[in-house]
Structure 1
Amino acid sequence: MNHTIETILNHRSIRKFKKEPLTDEQIRTIVQSAQAASTSSYIQAYTIIGVKDPVKKKKLSELAGNQSYVEENGHFFVFCADLHRHEKIGQWEDVDVNPSLESTEKFMVALIDASLAAQNASIAAESMGMGICYIGGIRNDLEAVSEVLQLPHRVIPLFGLAVGYPDADTDVKPRLPMNAVYHEDAYMSDEAGMKAELDRYDETISAYYHERTGGKRSDRWTEQMAKMLSGKKRMYMKEFVEKRGFDKR
């Protein structure tokens, strides 16, 4: 096993960082690593916004549900799906690109491009001895986040990425068993087998939480998922996405 794989397998979310800002060189390295990720048809349909302004970081922290680590970290990145520059290219080249930009396919391309870039950035940061935490909470109010970041049409903030040197460590959280996520040649639809795999995973997760919290928590993964998915969350998303010029066709 090489250092890269060790870094990937040792991933955990960090929610408490030292008060040590990243240097410009470190930020540049992380962004360049993000840009090295694969991109569909060379479209590069994303933008990364680094937020240093303490007032803006505080506001984003509030919008994300008062998560302190959005405000207190070494650097905060926001990854955006971005087809704004492509709209401008169409104007400059005198080509009607709008039907393509408004397609579900290009919406998916932008989401995938941004996600691939973000994961490259995360691995780069972790390989440099830093920790990271993805922040989906910025999607609580994308209109307000867009105003804070002054985002133009055809740009959607997808998630934040808090980066910095860990001030507190956590154990690696067990993932689903490989058999539950990796199928060969076809999707394995054996319900009994799936249930057995998830039952075993529930035992692992329950034991993990019990040990981590000193017995205060021992919930199962399937229990967590059922509870979470039983409620509605961010149901404004489709309207916002279409308003921004994405996923309309």
Structure 2
Amino acid sequence: MNSTIETILNHRSIRKFTDEPLTEEQIQLIVESAQAASTSSFVQAYTIIGVKNHEKKKKLAELAGNQSYVENNGHFFVFCADLNRHEMAAELEGKDMPASLETTETFMVALIDAALASQNAVLAAESMGLGACYIGGIRNNLEEVQQVLKTPKRVLPLFGIAIGYPMQESSKKPRLPFSNIYHEDEYQQDTNLFKQQLEEYNQEISSYYHERTGGKRNDTWTAQMTNMMQAPKRTYMKDYINKQGLSLK
């Protein structure tokens, strides 16, 4: 096993950071690592906004559900789907292409590009001894987030990543069984086996929470997922995406 794979397999979310800010060199290396990720047809349909201003970070923390680590970290990155520059590219070429920009496929390309870039950024940060935590809570109220970040039409903040020096290490959370995730040649549909694997995973996760919390928590993965998905969340999203010129057609 090489050091790259060790870094990948050692990943865990860090939610408590020291006050030490990232250096400009670290920020640049993280962003350049993100840019080195694969991108569909060289489209590069994403933008990364680094947030240093403390008041902005404080406001984003509030909008993300009062998550303190959005405010207190070495640097906060916001990854955005960005088709604004492609509209500008068309203007430079004297062409019009709103129909192409407003398709579900183009929107998916932007989402996938941003996700690939973000994972490169996190791996780069972790290889430097830094910790990271993805923040999906910024989608709780995108209109206010976009006001804070001053993003134009056709740009949509997707998630944040808090990065910094870990104040304390967190335990590694067990993932789903390999055989539950990896299917060879076709999707395996043995329902009984699938459920058996989930039951075994439930026991592992329950033990993990029990040990981590000193017995205060022992919920299972299936119960956690079922409870979380009982009610639809962020139901404003489709209309808001359309409003931003990223129509799902």
Q: What displacement does 1:248 show?
A: 3.3
Given that 2:136 and 2:158 are in contact with CA atoms closer than 8 Å, whether structure 1 keeps it comes out as: yes
Cα distance in 1 for partners of 2:190, 2:84 equals 44
Alignment of 1:21-100 (within 5 A): 21-100=21-100
Structure-1 separation of matches of 2:126 and 2:230: 34
Contact 2:75 2:162 (C-alpha < 8 Å) held by counterparts: yes
Question: Within the alignment, does 1:235 sit opposite 2:205 as a pair?
Answer: no
Equivalent-residue separation in structure 1 for 2:101 and 2:83 (angstroms): 7
Correspondence for 1:142: 142
Q: Which moved more, 1:95-104 or 1:135-144?
A: 95-104
Aligned counterparts, 1:1-249, within 5 A: 1-249=1-249
Superposed displacement of residue 86, structure 1: 0.2
- The answer to whether the 8 Å contact 2:135/2:160 transfers is yes
Give how far 1:36 is off.
0.1
User: Does the 8 Å CA contact 2:107/2:248 hold for their aligned counterparts?
Assistant: no
Q: Compute the displacement of 1:245 (Å).
A: 1.0
Stretch deviating more after TM superposition (95-104 or 141-150): 95-104
Query: What SS does structure 1 have at the residue aligned with 2:246?
Result: coil
Q: Structure 2 CA distance, aligned partners of 1:221 and 1:204?
A: 9
Alignment partners' CA distance in 1, 2:214 and 2:66: 26
SS at match of 1:196: helix
| TM-superposed deviation, 1:247 | 3.2
2: CA distance between counterparts of 1:189 and 1:93? 50
Q: Greater CA deviation, 224-233 or 108-117?
A: 224-233
How far is 1:232 from its partner?
Answer: 2.0
How far apart, CA to CA, are the structure 2 residues paired with 1:247 and 1:73? 34
Q: Distance in 2 between matches of 1:7 and 1:20?
A: 22
| 5+ residue gaps, structure 1 | none
Distance in 2 separating the partners of 1:186 and 1:243: 38
Partner SS state of residue 48, structure 1? strand
* Cα offset, 1:88, TM superposition: 1.1
For 1:176 and 1:121, locate their aligned partners in 2 and report how far apart those are by CA, in whole Å.
24
CA distance in 1, matches of 2:236, 2:114: 21
Residue 110 of structure 1: SS of its match in structure 2? Answer: helix
**1 CA distance for matches of 2:216 and 2:57?**
33
1:189 CA displacement = 1.2
Letter in 1 for 2:25: E
Distance 1:28 1:124 in 2: 11
Structure 1 CA distance for aligned equivalents of residues 100 and 209 of structure 2: 47
State the AA in 1 paired with 2:244.
Answer: R
Q: Which amino acid aligns with 1:134?
A: Y
- The CA RMSD measured in Å over matched residues stands at 0.6
- 1:61-99 CA distances to partner (integer Å, 9 max, x unpaired)? 000011000000000000000000001111221222111
The runs of at least 4 aligned residues of structure 1 exceeding 2 Å deviation read none
